[in-house]
Amino acid sequence: MKPVYTKTPLSLPAQVQHLQDKGLHVPDPARAQLVLRRVGLYRFKGFLLPYKTPSGYVPGTAFADVERLMTLDDALRLHVLKAMQTVEVGVRQAIVQFMLEQHGLRWYADPARFHRPTEFFDHTEFLRKVTEEFDRMPELFVGHYRERYDLDAPPPIWMIAETMTLGGWSKLFAALESQADRDGIAALLGVRASTFTSWLHALTVVRNVCAHQSRLYDRVFATMGIADNKRVRRQLLAHSFDARDTDARRLAPRLYALHRLTQALDPGGSWTTELKGVVAAYTPEEVPRLGFRVGWETQVEWGAAVTAEVLPGE
């Protein structure tokens, strides 16, 4: 039987003393208490993980080092969320418009458009949930629709779309029965359907991490597809991504997915250029913990000229 967690909570002065006892240099304990009051010891110690040793922390590690990493992480998280806004709306619109043109305004309500139920997607449950969400929405257009139209028929997809999250679109896309539909939607965004499926799942996790103000620095995710063009994949692994991240479990491959999707949705945008500035604030020793190699920003794969993944495999 596993033991029950029984560690005694620490007061703020005791938290600072705890960090000092582990070898952290804290020249201003009063300021350290203010920071810990604001962010919490548990969150703070997450940024100390790279400095941890069996006996404490790497000699010379200072409280200010961790504060700096938290500040950089805040800037990175906000920049990722900026891309997520573009991607979430753009992905939704790509799926809605393609399927609308191919299958009409209530395609989402037709179970024949989707695979049989799995642990990840059950069309009956999906339809129940989005309909209930639509009914609860306080938007004027919902009231207008309910007043004027037959409620026995499902609402048009562009209304239902307003209730769905990126995670919902990720599951819905993967559950589409027609390979031709998946291929057509993904092509609008410059990738193959298999890569797009992987990216949507991976980015949903990143979005949720950011939405909960969790740490991006030194985080390890599940594996994901990097790129469906073999040449691009080789170049990224050889020149952009940290050599130890062979399974694409760090943040960098997810930032590449955001780069590609923002380029497809907003070709004149500056998100990737701004990303390079955000990452430049990290030291060469810290960059690999984001999953990058030093010098990644100079690689052609991160430029505006690379606009389509749907190329021959070599």
User: How confident is the model over 240-288, as pLDDT tens digits?
Assistant: 999 999 899 999 999 999 999 999 999 999 999 999 999 999 999 999 9
Contact predicate 121/171, CB 8 Å: yes
Q: What is the pTM of this model?
A: 0.92
For the stretch 295-305, pLDDT in tens is 999 999 998 75
Length of the chain: 314
Q: How is residue 113 written in tokens? A: 């458009």
Q: How confident is the model at residue 312 (pLDDT cuts 50, 70, 90)?
A: very low
Q: Facing residues of 25 across strands?
A: 62
Structure confidence at residue 153 (pLDDT): 79
219, pLDDT greater than 50:
yes
- Interval 163-174 mean pLDDT: 94
Q: How is residue 148 written in tokens? A: 């004027």
307, pLDDT greater than 50:
no
Gap between the Cα atoms of 232 and 265, Å rounded: 20
Contact predicate 193/182, CB 8 Å: yes
313, pLDDT greater than 70:
no
* Residues above pLDDT 90, as percent of the chain: 82
For the stretch 64-89, pLDDT in tens is 999 999 999 999 999 999 999 999 99
Torsion angles phi and psi, residue 198, rounded to 5: -65, -45
- Interval 186-202 mean pLDDT: 96
Residue linked to tokens 């037709």: 110
Q: Which amino acid is at 229?
A: N
- Interval 150-166 mean pLDDT: 86
For the stretch 232-241, pLDDT in tens is 999 999 999 9
Cα–Cα distance list, 182 to 59, 80, 120, 193, 205 (Å): 53, 26, 17, 6, 21
- Interval 30-46 mean pLDDT: 96
